[in-house]
Amino acid sequence: MTLHLYNTAHRAKEEFVPLRPGKVGMYVCGPTVYDLAHIGNARPVVIFDVLARLLRHLGYDLTYVRNITDVEDKIIAAAEANGESIEALTTRTTKAFHDDMAALNALPPDIEPRATEHIGGMIAMIETLIRKGHAYTAEGHVLFDVNSMPDYGKLSGRNRDDMIAGARVEVAPYKKDPADFVLWKPSTGNMPGWESPFGRGRPGWHIECSVMSEAALGETFDIHGGGRDLIFPHHENEVAQSCCAHDGAPFARYWVHNGFLTVEGDKMSKSLGNFRTVRELLADAPGEALRLNMLSAQYRQPLDWTSEGVARSKKSLDRIYSTLLALNNTPSGTIEPTNEVVAALEDDLNTPLALSALYALAKKARRSIDPNEQAILKGQLIGSGHILGLLEIDPEVWFHGEIPDEEAEYVNIDVSDHLDVQINEEIDRLINERADAKKNKNFARADEIRDNLKADGIILEDGPGGTTWKRA
């Protein structure tokens, strides 16, 4: 099978054929670093990390670019509200973003340009657009003239009325048309600004990505990714700027967008009390559990983030890690993902199907009693996990090391396991922990251990001689 991706530009799933054989350029819109990343910010990071891993597994020489927006009005406002400098704010929040995404096992991009490093290129592109009749100056601003581009709106498929109604466009008297968007805006007072032919100012958001992607990947490249909420106006305006600056030369060839994320059934917002930062979630669950929960839905579909879903993902990982723990002394065969996992990902990143294949592989490994087969399955299990960004922690650490004890209360037991020695030891450990909890009058913890084991088919029986157990 070959890789197929849904191309937003054509509203269809298409076979992926790179611009240059064997090489792929991919640009993904990164964070605006004014606050901690929330779980909605993390979804595209995880999704495109899987795509990057898949492309490299398929043998492509990938250049993965994800930018940092470090000049934007939200940053100016946040720095002022916090009483800190813009540099201090962006440095702090960029580091937090890197740390949080690393905790989700997201590999860093090959190139991570910062907007402030490309101001000269932005000024040059704006000058080109003015010279070619696609932009104009007005009251210290430079604006893109959408009427100069006959097919403006082709990416999103929006008609003229849709572009204005309900869209995030700034209404201003100096615009020729309400849909015209800012390329350059004036900076006054202590606002960050750069000298330019249009006056001291700073770039608009859209021009930043057009220039940074071109600097890293050229005028035309293979894949542009981001959240669905960016299709209009951000990505639409990137297309307009870049194509018009280069006389109609194609910009990105495949547009890949992930779906929306809600929290506990509602749109995430601070007013609803369901705003979840990655940092907060990492305090309650391992990063791999958050990542697995993210991959439980196909990337183009909506994802409802729930605490129940995270708990379920943690249990699924417990089950697989218990298998790897039991195979700790088994030499690993070749570490490669199975054909089933790769085929699922080649079909427009069908991560739910890939996870299903991963679970089936773990079940087969738990049932195996042949050492040679166990070695092969162990390598396939690790390899299949790695292409998804999972199973990258030592099993002993997962259960007993750096992950806090409350993160690993029990091993999720499969009654078909042939790994009885390890399972029995874990049950005995939990029974002893429960006895200690009862001695210390921590009855909530004792009941929790009993109920967790019961959920996995293990029934505890208390008697004069102590506690025994049996399978349900």
Q: Indicate if 166 and 236 belong to the same structural domain.
A: yes
Which residues are CB-neighbours of 273 under 8 A, at least 6 positions away? none
**Does residue 50 contact residue 354 with C-beta atoms inside 8 Å?**
no
Q: Which two tokens stand for residue 45?
A: 């990071």
Task: Assess if residue 273 is contained within a domain.
Answer: no
Q: Indicate if 258 and 360 belong to the same structural domain.
A: no
How far apart CA 33 and CA 48 sit, in angstroms, is 19
Q: Please say which residue of 345, 376, 400 terminates a domain.
A: 400
Q: CB burial class (10 A; 0-12, 13-18, 19+) of residue 443? A: exposed
Domain of 23, CATH number, reads 3.40.50.620
Q: Indicate if 217 and 105 belong to the same structural domain.
A: yes
CA triplet 387, 114, 29: central angle to 5 degrees? 45
Q: Which two tokens stand for residue 322?
A: 């218990």
Q: CB burial class (10 A; 0-12, 13-18, 19+) of residue 279? A: middle
Task: Assess if residue 172 is contained within a domain.
Answer: yes
Task: Assess if residue 295 is contained within a domain.
Answer: no
Adjacent-strand bridge partners of 283: none
Q: Indicate if 378 and 234 belong to the same structural domain.
A: no
Q: Indicate if 117 and 33 belong to the same structural domain.
A: yes
Q: Tokens 């409350």 correspond to what residue? A: 406
Q: What is the C-alpha end-to-end distance of the chain, expressed in Å?
A: 43
Q: Indicate if 102 and 60 belong to the same structural domain.
A: yes
Task: Assess if residue 282 is contained within a domain.
Answer: no
| Phi and psi at residue 231, to the nearest 5° | -55, -50
CA-to-CA separations, 182 to 30, 136, 224, in angstroms, rounded = 20, 10, 22
The DSSP element (H or E) to which 381 belongs, if any, is: helix 371-387
* Per-residue pLDDT at 414: 34
* Per-residue pLDDT at 362: 95
Question: Closest by alpha carbon to 300, among 199, 228, 355?
Answer: 228
Q: For the CA atoms of the chain, what is the radius of gyration? A: 26
* Per-residue pLDDT at 65: 98
Q: Indicate if 423 and 376 belong to the same structural domain.
A: no
* Per-residue pLDDT at 420: 44
Q: Please say which residue of 202, 237, 262 terminates a domain.
A: 262
Q: Indicate if 85 and 114 belong to the same structural domain.
A: yes
How far apart CA 267 and CA 275 sit, in angstroms, is 9
Task: Assess if residue 193 is contained within a domain.
Answer: yes
Q: Note down the domain range covering 356.
A: 310-400
How far apart CA 256 and CA 64 sit, in angstroms, is 14
Phi and psi based region of residue 375 (left: phi greater than 0; alpha: psi -120 to 50; beta: remaining): alpha
Q: CB burial class (10 A; 0-12, 13-18, 19+) of residue 376? A: middle
How far apart CA 191 and CA 188 sit, in angstroms, is 6
Digit-by-digit pLDDT tens for the chain (472 residues) are 799 999 999 999 999 999 999 999 999 999 999 999 999 999 999 999 999 999 999 999 999 999 999 999 999 999 999 999 999 999 999 999 999 999 999 999 999 999 999 999 999 999 999 999 999 999 999 999 999 999 999 999 877 666 665 455 566 888 999 999 999 999 998 899 999 999 999 999 999 999 999 999 999 999 999 999 999 999 999 999 999 999 999 999 999 999 999 999 999 988 888 899 999 999 999 999 999 999 999 999 999 999 999 999 999 999 999 999 999 989 999 999 999 999 999 999 999 999 999 999 999 999 999 999 999 999 999 999 999 999 999 998 898 644 433 333 333 333 233 334 446 667 877 888 888 888 888 887 888 788 777 766 688 888 766 788 776 6
Residue type at 466 in one-letter notation:
G
Adjacent-strand bridge partners of 458: 471
Adjacent-strand bridge partners of 141: 138
Q: Indicate if 74 and 192 belong to the same structural domain.
A: yes
Task: Assess if residue 152 is contained within a domain.
Answer: yes
Task: Assess if residue 304 is contained within a domain.
Answer: no
Q: Please say which residue of 354, 372, 400 terminates a domain.
A: 400
* Per-residue pLDDT at 300: 95
Q: Indicate if 368 and 438 belong to the same structural domain.
A: no
Task: Assess if residue 271 is contained within a domain.
Answer: no
**Does residue 211 contact residue 125 with C-beta atoms inside 8 Å?**
yes
* Per-residue pLDDT at 431: 87
Number of domains in the chain: 3
Q: Indicate if 362 and 225 belong to the same structural domain.
A: no
How far apart CA 317 and CA 125 sit, in angstroms, is 48
Q: Indicate if 33 and 110 belong to the same structural domain.
A: yes
Domain of 334, CATH number, reads 1.20.120.640
Q: Which two tokens stand for residue 451?
A: 């109920």
